[in-house]
Structure 1
């Protein structure tokens, strides 16, 4: 049974629901959600967290989904075991206060054991072993009743295995895993009645967990570890959250040994075999590399598909690691040509059967992935050069071990993989201090985990807002219809707690029964304005939605004091602010459409921000734009304004919006039943958007692109002014032109030519000055060579150069060395002092090297005195420092080192 059929049968089973009721099918959310605790969606329940946390009211009592997931803590173990993978799909069914343990157990058992002909998976009941939390007698009884299994077939495991929580205070509950016995070839014989509280390691491959049923029933007050937590009480509603691993069930039903061999993954391995000439199953080391390739190619493609671009931190860094590990593994398999263009289309063809966006968006995905591989190939080239220098230093010191800190620097600073460092070290006859390297890596991971722990619990406590919403219902939000309302206060808050009054000058929050204010979302800043009441005025500072359906206004009391029992308020949005915001938000859509018209359909927005008169738009692109492209984007945008295109919006389902060609922002979560599509000029611009907009494009006024720049690898940003701010920007530019024409006594059209001529004259003058300065420098070199002092038969020039930088010092050192008698050992060490920094260059001739003198050693002799470091080759080395006061001592150290070598 192929993977797509397993996925289809799972959803169909729960959509039917049987005696427990039909489940609403929910499409997979993006891998990127706005969650402070997660880089990626890592479990099927993540999109439903607001429902389980009580932050939002679920629109359905039961749901089912097949969710895309990525887990990254075990990247280094991918391929080494057959249990670890980064991207996977989690099939789940969820109950929000509806059915509980019995329903979850019966539904899961029915699907697993029902015959294939009847729409089930047809798994052999004798191989299935339910597990429960040790002591959960209710679950044991329900399993026995639902399945007819004897008590000894039901495994009792401890909290480590069979208790679920998010790792922070909140909901939790016991689990019931369904284990599949793969047979004696995968582990020793066992007695299920004696297992627990932990699963023996020897049985982890034999008793394969394929489904986990979470009975979410507890409210946790403290979570110290997976096994150590306090249960404060029961949840108001008991919920069900389950997860069935699609890949695990697929390899069981396809008769394979692991997830890497299933129908959607093995074709990548097969192509890698063809490219590399290696064979899967022939060599355990090669097998690991081939599995890494299969996993990382698919995972990278899915991440790029959801809008991630390679970078140096966060999500971008994870993607970069995955792509580079895949490329590196192909290199270690012996394939050194570009690999991703050969491999990723294979994965696209398999995964694209379900996730069609991979096909329609392929040009963008390929551009991002292939550009990163090319960049990494250059990194490998540069890293190889750096490794060669490090290896030379090791050998010159008489050692055969590359230190852990050097290996770590290659890995962390230059992105050079440790596997390649080990391989190249072996080829150079060296070993690597792997223990030291691993120690530094562990320290880095511990720092990262500490950072992650510091971020835990950043889910704001929304219980107060939730209580207001439950008591009063959702805010009547009228931002699309009006700029003012007569409203009633429902609650006053200060620092998150209800208060009876807000005094003069205080900052607090006001919740109204109805409001005209736009709450910040979709990249649009919140409205500004005032709220007035009898005897007082409030300035609106910010507007947010802490829970869905509730609008909260942050205010400052300008006049009077506001009691909670005031009968009526007048809420008024600043009309100029709203006009500017509408112009900027519509302008963002116009720039996005113009961007795609100029660069092509793969230039898609990845983020935006707009406030009155200003917009910025981030988009995935791997190269900087030319000035002509930026000009074209601005021109196309203003032509759209001049065309007075109609701006409209309508509501439809998410599926209808996608069929209509509407563009959704990467990482955003949309209501599947109803979305708002904003249209400018018909199909020219159709985007999912909840912002406020003008009614015709001409109302934007003007659009002036002010900049285009990088905001990380694979991401660019365009900034622009709109409306009056655009005119003000142009007026400032006009004033600058007027000042320049006055200064140069030239017409505006002649300015570029006049300035260009001046720049050329300056360059020419600078070149002449450089010639004069170089001549003076070389003349000084003759004097230095003539003044060399004898140290043990060696001609030594060691001097301080005031105002000289590194380039000058190196030039002069080379010149002085050439002027010394080649038949006599000669040493030149010059220390330039400029802007509080010291540049050191040492040069020795062949005769000096023959008597044991090394430029590398001489530079190192200066380092302690000038608080610096450096090195190089035996004939020429350089370094730097930050302590000019130590230059004289450094010169004496050079002389002393020469004397020591010569025995003088």
Structure 2
């Protein structure tokens, strides 16, 4: 049975049992504790936590998931991967343990002809929490299994919590016995033998303190008992397809088969190669799904995970012997299998493939560059007598050049060196800690949301009126400082204020928060920032300008109208530029991020190459033509499927309400996007759009920046003033300005060339006198000189000329050091007689460079180097003189 059919039967089974089928959510999740959706229940967390009311009493889904904590271990086991699909059924206060057990057991054991999976009952073992006798009896009663077939396990295996105070409860797993070839009888810790395929979580407890997975307090029973289950689709597929591991099922193995074709190697022939085959198959699929949901390669957060996956895949193919571009061969294979379920992969293929292939090209260059840098580092370690590459060097290769640590380890081993892995891991951990601290510090104290949830539970949600008005009469729900509620805020203090109603727009969807003031009797607050730390609650970061604020004071909240006008222009302008971008470049140029504040916008989009000047002008022109057309701007609410059917663009990285979403359109179908921001009513109200720059923000991602409204006109006015000053200075008209400047630049270049020619002639003219001044060092003519202001190329030219002028009959050495600024460049040239006498330019330049605090090298006839301390130039030449003396004496 293929995976698509297994998935279809799962959904049909639960739909027939009254569940609403919910489409998979995006892999990107707004949870600050998660990079990606890592379990099927994640999209339903607000319902389980009581933050939102579920729209259905029972639901079922097949959710895309990615788990990446142990990427290095992928392929080493045969049941874990980074991307997987989790089938689940969920009850929100509807059925409980008996219902969940009945539904799961029925699907697992029902004959194939009746729409089930037909797994043998004799191979199935339910596991339960050892302190849940109710579940034991239910399993025996519903399935008819004897007591010894129901396995009792402890908290670490069969009790579930989210790791924080909140809902929790015992769970039951369905284990499948794969037989003695996979482990010992009765050893239920042997996961290969007793494969867990389904986990049924019985949410019944309220946890008040969670200190670890097995150490927590149970405060009491939940008001409603919920069911959350998770069934690994890939695990059931390997059983029903009779495969030994998940890498050989129908949606994964075709990539392995393609790698076999490309490399000529065979899967199953070598254990080391098998790990590489599995890494490629897993990472290609995971990367494709992440790019499909809007992730682009980068050096931070989600982008860094994607970059690692792509580069590990490319590296593994290379280790299998394939040196050409691999992803264009492999990605389409995975697309064709996964695209049967996820049609977006076909629709967005141009963008997905463009991002992936550009990253491979960048990594291939990285491999070339990194290999050179590694070779230099390895040579230095060997020269110094060391045996290990430092953790700092390995980290620099990884962090600066994207060089994988496994590649560093392998190449070091090939050269007989070790790597300070402990030091590398420590530096990696410190980097992760800094990233986490930075994420927690952003937007104030919003990392720990417990205090805000308490306010929401006690006082209710904030009535948000940003669409309706710029002013409200309000009351304080709470005052906070340092993440804790306080009784007052004094003059000069910065704190947080939660209102019962507010006109302020909270930062979201790329739009900056509103600015403004909040007045109270005897004082004024300046609004610095506005955020939504939890859904339904609006938190204002404020500074008390005067007076003392207490929670009981009546408040008058007022948004700065000029700020809001500029914000509306910029946000609508972002939509216009996005539509223009797609019109000029094509539909694959999709927004991947944005930010707008009054008068300014920036828009990131997936694109692999820099835009030409004409393309940028075209985007600006299309945008401003849309403004001149005075296109109507409107919005309406609908369900997410309706919005997608209508052609609305759902932006990458954003999450949308499962019920109603807001669609903003400009000029009808010309621009339709899901958006919760504030907007103008007609496009002409944007004023103008002036594109000020286009740049790269990472592999496969570009950025456009622009000014709007008054700020756009101000930018153009400044440009006009610059043009006016230049035309006056150069005594020409604006139309002739470019030609006039071009003429001046050409004349300047000609003059510089003449000066350079004269300077070089003067420099070379000194070669004769330098050669004549050569001293005799034990039978060798040594011309050693310091030339102030000479650069590397000049030094080489001069040294070669001096060597030519030395007598060819006797050994000769020309050593010239150029001092430009603080640095020094040195070139040593040895004539044929000198080389015959055993003198080497390579050895001589190394002796000098070491004195200069640098390095050098080359061949026996010519070598060059440099150093950071030009003040030691005379000492460096003295080192050359000693080396010549030793060499000449030795010969």
Please, what TM-score do these two structures have when normalized by structure 1? Answer: 0.89
Match of 2:753 in 1: 767
Match of 2:263 in 1: 276
Mapping for residues 478-517 of structure 1, pairs under 5 Å: 478-517=465-504
Q: Is the 8 A contact 2:296 2:700 kept in 1?
A: yes
Match of 1:644 in 2: 630
- Cα distance change of structure 1 residues 808 and 156 upon mapping to structure 2, 3 Å threshold: farther
Given the alignment of the two structures, is residue 733 of structure 1 paired with residue 714 of structure 2, yes or no? Answer: no
Match of 1:2 in 2: 2
Q: Is the 8 A contact 1:113 1:125 kept in 2?
A: yes
- Cα distance change of structure 1 residues 560 and 809 upon mapping to structure 2, 3 Å threshold: same
Following TM superposition, by how much is the alpha carbon of 1:414 offset from its aligned partner in structure 2, in angstroms? 4.6
Deviations 1:316-349 (A, max 9, x none): 3332333233333334444444332232122112
Given the alignment of the two structures, is residue 340 of structure 1 paired with residue 341 of structure 2, yes or no? Answer: no
Given the alignment of the two structures, is residue 302 of structure 1 paired with residue 298 of structure 2, yes or no? Answer: no
Q: Is the 8 A contact 2:28 2:293 kept in 1?
A: yes
Given the alignment of the two structures, is residue 791 of structure 1 paired with residue 787 of structure 2, yes or no? Answer: no
Match of 1:830 in 2: 816
- Cα distance change of structure 1 residues 37 and 283 upon mapping to structure 2, 3 Å threshold: same
Distance 1:155 1:144 in 2: 11
SS at the partner of 1:480?
Answer: coil
Match of 1:858 in 2: 844
Mapping for residues 705-716 of structure 1, pairs under 5 Å: 705-716=691-702
Given the alignment of the two structures, is residue 12 of structure 1 paired with residue 9 of structure 2, yes or no? Answer: no
Deviations 1:745-802 (A, max 9, x none): 1111110000000000011111111111211222233333332333343333443333
Match of 2:879 in 1: 893
Mapping for residues 442-457 of structure 1, pairs under 5 Å: 442-448=425-431, 450-451=433-434
- Cα distance change of structure 1 residues 712 and 575 upon mapping to structure 2, 3 Å threshold: same
Given the alignment of the two structures, is residue 211 of structure 1 paired with residue 198 of structure 2, yes or no? Answer: yes
Q: Is the 8 A contact 1:803 1:834 kept in 2?
A: yes
Distance 1:232 1:340 in 2: 50
Match of 1:68 in 2: 64
Deviations 1:241-283 (A, max 9, x none): 3321111111111111211221212222333333333343344
Match of 1:879 in 2: 865
Distance 1:339 1:701 in 2: 48
171-180 or 378-387, which deviates more: 378-387
Q: Is the 8 A contact 1:404 1:432 kept in 2?
A: no
Q: Is the 8 A contact 1:280 1:287 kept in 2?
A: yes
SS at the partner of 1:120?
Answer: coil
Distance 1:827 1:26 in 2: 81
Deviations 1:336-371 (A, max 9, x none): 443322321221121112111111111111112222
Distance 2:155 2:71 in 1: 25
Match of 1:617 in 2: 603
Q: Is the 8 A contact 2:388 2:417 kept in 1?
A: no
Mapping for residues 491-890 of structure 1, pairs under 5 Å: 491-566=478-553, 568-890=554-876
Deviations 1:510-535 (A, max 9, x none): 32222222111111111122223344
Following TM superposition, by how much is the alpha carbon of 1:610 offset from its aligned partner in structure 2, in angstroms? 0.8
Q: Is the 8 A contact 2:255 2:333 kept in 1?
A: yes
Q: Is the 8 A contact 1:404 1:433 kept in 2?
A: no
Following TM superposition, by how much is the alpha carbon of 1:595 offset from its aligned partner in structure 2, in angstroms? 0.5
Mapping for residues 23-38 of structure 1, pairs under 5 Å: 23-38=19-34
Q: Is the 8 A contact 1:186 1:206 kept in 2?
A: yes
Following TM superposition, by how much is the alpha carbon of 1:209 offset from its aligned partner in structure 2, in angstroms? 1.8
Given the alignment of the two structures, is residue 127 of structure 1 paired with residue 113 of structure 2, yes or no? Answer: no
Q: Is the 8 A contact 1:45 1:241 kept in 2?
A: yes
Mapping for residues 378-417 of structure 1, pairs under 5 Å: 378-382=365-369, 414-415=401-402
Following TM superposition, by how much is the alpha carbon of 1:898 offset from its aligned partner in structure 2, in angstroms? 3.1
- Cα distance change of structure 1 residues 540 and 439 upon mapping to structure 2, 3 Å threshold: closer
Q: Is the 8 A contact 2:66 2:83 kept in 1?
A: yes
Distance 1:468 1:34 in 2: 21
Deviations 1:126-146 (A, max 9, x none): 111223445554544443344
Distance 2:274 2:379 in 1: 34
Q: Is the 8 A contact 1:844 1:854 kept in 2?
A: yes
Match of 1:436 in 2: 419
Distance 2:849 2:165 in 1: 53
Distance 2:889 2:880 in 1: 14
Following TM superposition, by how much is the alpha carbon of 1:700 offset from its aligned partner in structure 2, in angstroms? 0.6
- Cα distance change of structure 1 residues 138 and 627 upon mapping to structure 2, 3 Å threshold: same
Q: Is the 8 A contact 1:499 1:564 kept in 2?
A: no
Match of 1:92 in 2: 88
Match of 2:38 in 1: 42
Distance 1:433 1:884 in 2: 36
Distance 2:830 2:342 in 1: 65
Match of 1:357 in 2: 344
Q: Paired residues, what number?
A: 883
SS at the partner of 1:562?
Answer: coil
Distance 1:845 1:433 in 2: 37
Q: Is the 8 A contact 2:389 2:418 kept in 1?
A: no
- Cα distance change of structure 1 residues 783 and 460 upon mapping to structure 2, 3 Å threshold: same
- Cα distance change of structure 1 residues 489 and 890 upon mapping to structure 2, 3 Å threshold: same
Distance 2:182 2:676 in 1: 54
- Cα distance change of structure 1 residues 337 and 506 upon mapping to structure 2, 3 Å threshold: closer
Please, what TM-score do these two structures have when normalized by structure 2? Answer: 0.91
Distance 2:808 2:163 in 1: 72
Following TM superposition, by how much is the alpha carbon of 1:711 offset from its aligned partner in structure 2, in angstroms? 1.3
- Cα distance change of structure 1 residues 697 and 434 upon mapping to structure 2, 3 Å threshold: same
Given the alignment of the two structures, is residue 182 of structure 1 paired with residue 178 of structure 2, yes or no? Answer: yes
Distance 1:402 1:782 in 2: 48
Match of 2:252 in 1: 265
Q: Is the 8 A contact 2:355 2:699 kept in 1?
A: no
